[in-house]
Structure 1
């Protein structure tokens, strides 16, 4: 009885299109964040994704289109992750909620170290993805924080927009700060931000309410 011959190694199985897109976008994030739009090449991105240049071109067109899609994909991922956490935990008081959300921002940046460099690169090239993301998240944070400020008799009004912008700016600054020695523990920075912002705003309302009134 003849024994069936085993198939020899053939051409590698072609990955599904969606899987190829995911690989390219993940690689593009890294390359664009590291090299910028001008320095990045389709060859680099294809190599990191484990695909051919032709596959990348077929999936996304040219480098400009790939950069645009990469930034849009990151913006949506960041919004979904941060907004969902920011709008939850209705049982938390103001300080606990603020501390948790500062932690969420630090955690997202730690898990996605390419995020801020890529979003800053987008801003530099004229695509205001980071500005847009801050504005979208500010809507979520204003609503969630407003309910909690009301427990203290505080009605921030338009000042809340400025306060939320300051929260984001401080986190971004601390994340990218080049410490001369070992950086402080993340929890220490989160506690510092929480006490500085919540305590600071309450002192403003209690001692110099006219400062907030001028912004409101």
Structure 2
């Protein structure tokens, strides 16, 4: 039922989704959905909670892997993994975005939780470049997720670019951009530290 609810809420949003649609998609009666979840609001909250946990478990686990990778390789791999997560779970981002619109800060919580994992991992890698971003690390990780979210959910007027090209763009923009700031405008990072 939750898998069906995820599809229905992703496609129709909270206002447009119905218990009937969820029941039909799950192959159960409306009564079964009501007995399991009570009402549409409770079903939505459980769906959002499950999607948030799935995203956290998957993305955090991927971010903690490969401790020996250098910064650029690690960043590129993580951008690729986020693109892969969205491809594997196409309903996840729409459900989390709908939750935010409905006043449930699931995406905000997810970003904060992931920032803890990724901040520590990125800090070690930036140190290898002589960069000590301090608190700027948290801002950088937030930007990392925001840029990726924007690109993976972007509606292109024509055929979208190859995801590999977007991943390369994100990688070079992030790594090259921060190194440029550190070398040419260190006061920007210093003000955030």
User: What range is the shorter-chain TM-score in?
Assistant: over 0.9
Give the superposed CA RMSD: 0.8
**Which residue, out of 72, 78, 89, partners 1:112?**
89
CA distance in 1, matches of 2:53, 2:88: 16
The yes-or-no answer on 1:183 pairing with 2:154 is: no
Tell me the number of residue pairs that the alignment of Structure 1 and Structure 2 aligns. Answer: 193
- Highest RCO, 1 vs 2 (Cα 8 Å, sep ≥ 6): 2
Unaligned runs of 5+ in 1: 1-23
| Bigger proportion of residues as helix | 2
Deviation digits for residues 59-107 of structure 1 (CA, Å, limit 9, x no counterpart):
1111111100000000000000000010110111110000000001000
Output one character per residue of 1:96-154: Cα deviation in whole Å (capped at 9) or x when no partner.
00000000100001111111111111001110000000000010000111111111111
Task: Structure 2: give runs of 5+ residues left out of the alignment.
Answer: none
Equivalence map 1:79-98=2 (5 Å): 79-98=56-75
Runs of 4+ in structure 1 deviating by more than 6 angstroms, as ranges, are none
Q: How does 1:13-28 map to 2 (within 5 A)?
A: 24-28=1-5
The alpha carbon displacement at 1:180 in A equals 2.5
Report the alpha carbon displacement of residue 57 of structure 1 after superposing the two structures with TM: 1.0
Which residue pairs with 2:29 in the alignment? 52
Partner residue in 2 for 1:215: 192
TM-score (norm 1): 0.88
What SS does the corresponding residue of 2:129 show, helix, strand or coil?
A: coil
TM-score (norm: length of structure 2):
0.98
